[in-house]
Amino acid sequence: MNISTLKLLRSMGLTLLLLILLEVITATVLPLIGIEDYQIPFNILIVLYLSFKLDSPYLAVLILMVQFFHSLFSIESWAIGTFIGVLISRIIYLFKETVQFFAFPLVIFVVQGCFFLWLLFSSLFLYFQNGPVWSRIWIFIPESLMASLLAPVLFLVLERIWKQDEEASLRGVG
Amino acid sequence: MDFSDFKNNRLRLGLDILILAISLYGVSQWSGKYEKVSPAKSFFMTNFAAIQQGVTSINHKVSGLFNNYLANIEASKENKFLKNKIADLENEIFDFEELAKENKRLKQLLAFGRKQTKRPILSQIVGWNSSSNFKVLRINKGLEDGIRLQSPVVTSKGLVGYIYRLTDHFADVLTILDPNNKVDAIVARSRSHGILEGYEKGKIFMKYVSNVVPVILNDLILTSGLGNMYPKGVRIGRISKIERESYSVTQHIEITPSVDFGNLEEVIVLILPDRNKKEKEWEILNRPLKLGSKN
């Protein structure tokens, strides 16, 4: 295990702790202040951040870990989230060289676009399982908008966790 | 592209394909009806639920402090209301047990003789999960308190849902607001059947009710008891909207649930002690017959 791998594990551990903290807050504090119909999908935001920022070949494993920990707080199957997460990370991989996050509005715009992709894939999955999914779309839209608006802040926090310098680049871990 | 990049790309592609395959297998195993929890998942869930419980109780304490000492107005009224609520819940349980006894007597008469005594377990809600896809709440009772998978969950006001996922000390309830939770229901006045399905903003749809069935606004909806999951006659809600299209064979019926899910703090889980026995009976009945055996 080299330094980069250690750094990857340490950063992932911190990211999972952050996810757990955010899941606990959304499951306990938000309903008490009257927000019980919507939940901010922080797990998707973290998957998107990792997909945009990380060049590690272990990205799919990290997505699996995020979705597994998310499934501890939700009955949403880890499998669907992982499948969609890996698919979207592949799509992002193709385009990420052309996207540079130099301004907050751009982050919000790009994240919202990715959320629509996520909605498309998850709706397809749930359609095959349960039939029409129109009602979900009207809840997903405000949820994804809230998440997109929060994305720049969360990405800044994640940026600190995954801070990459030249000598400990995550590229080529292993 | 140098050799290490090429190696990394191949590794990434391989891992992506492997994880996609594993997750596809996971999707194929996901029934949406209930989930059996692995020991590792149970360990994590129990610990995180304990954190959730702690945060919820701190929140309740802070808001309680505010209500009691700073606002100091509604606290005693709330206490009275909760006591009344508990009394209502006890009455409701008594009603359920009476119904079960009546049911039992009738079934004994018909020589079907199946016991259905329900044991109520009072639980507190420790967390909510209300993403766009699922409407779930987590309660502070689990396997060790006697709760079983697919046990019905109610309050004095009506039906809440059923136990979807279970650990030793906590359980997740799939509420009737969730589109995955389909409840067979009847209109109390006309006894016509339909299937309920969660929709949006706390509303429920009643599907497959024919256009010719006379339903009116404010009609009471009850569980039908079919499906062997919910007891018969539990209140679900009232009809709040009806749409009839000339070209459609069914009506579009919207139900407002009796339970105020926004202010839910305690629920009752109803346990059927003989569920295992029933499952064994079904298992024996489903066993293939051994034809042609000599003994």
Q: Provide the CA B155 distance to its chain's centre, in angstroms.
A: 12
Write the residue in A27, A57, A129 that is nearest to B129 by C-beta.
A27
Asked if residue A76 has pLDDT above 80, the reply is: no
ipTM of the complex as predicted? 0.79
In this structure, are strands B171-175 and B135-139 parallel, antiparallel, or unpaired? antiparallel
Hey, are the CB atoms on A75 and B25 less than 8 Å from each other?
no
Write the residue in B12, B15, B26 that is nearest to A79 by C-beta.
B26
Hey, are the CB atoms on B30 and A41 less than 8 Å from each other?
no
Mean pLDDT of chain A: 81
Hey, are the CB atoms on B174 and A75 less than 8 Å from each other?
yes
Please list every residue in chain B whose beta carbon sits closer than 8 Å to the beta carbon of residue A74.
129, 131, 134, 136
User: In CATH, what number does B183-259 get?
Assistant: 2.40.10.350
**Cα of B200 to nearest chain A Cα, Å:** 6
Provide the pLDDT confidence category of residue B37 given band limits of 50, 70 and 90: confident
Residue extents of the structural domains in chain B: 39-176+262-272, 183-259
Q: Which residue of B has its CA nearest to A60?
A: B16
The pLDDT score that the predictor gives to residue B279 is 64
Question: Is the fold of B39-176+262-272 the same as that of B183-259?
Answer: yes
Q: Which residue of A has its CA nearest to B13?
A: A57
pTM: 0.64
Hey, are the CB atoms on B59 and A87 less than 8 Å from each other?
no
What percent of chain B has a predicted confidence (pLDDT) above 90? 11
A39-43, A152-156, B225-229, B230-234: which is most confident: A152-156
Least confident of A83-97, B199-213, B226-240: B199-213
Mean of pLDDT values over B239-266: 85
Adjacent-strand bridge partners of B221: B187, B237
Residue among A101, A33, A99 nearest B56 (CA): A33
Q: Model confidence over B88-123: pLDDT tens digits?
A: 887 788 778 767 766 665 565 454 334 445 778 888
Please list every residue in chain A whose beta carbon sits closer than 8 Å to the beta carbon of residue B179.
130, 133, 135-136
Hey, are the CB atoms on B131 and A37 less than 8 Å from each other?
no
For residues B151, B240, B196, B37, the Cα torsion angle rounded to the nearest 10 degrees is -40
**Residue predicted with more confidence, B53 or A90:** A90
Please list every residue in chain B whose beta carbon sits closer than 8 Å to the beta carbon of residue A86.
16, 19-20, 23
Asked if residue A86 has pLDDT above 90, the reply is: yes
Please list every residue in chain A whose beta carbon sits closer than 8 Å to the beta carbon of residue B4.
172
For residues B280, B281, B285, B291, the Cα torsion angle rounded to the nearest 10 degrees is 70
**What is d(CA B40, CA A12) in angstroms, rounded to the nearest whole number?**
19
Between chain A and chain B, the number of residue pairs with CB atoms below 8 A apart is 157
**What is d(CA A63, CA B246) in angstroms, rounded to the nearest whole number?**
49
Write the residue in B5, B130, B201 that is nearest to A39 by C-beta.
B130
Domain B39-176+262-272 sits in which CATH superfamily?
Answer: Rod shape-determining protein MreC, domain 1 (2.40.10.340)
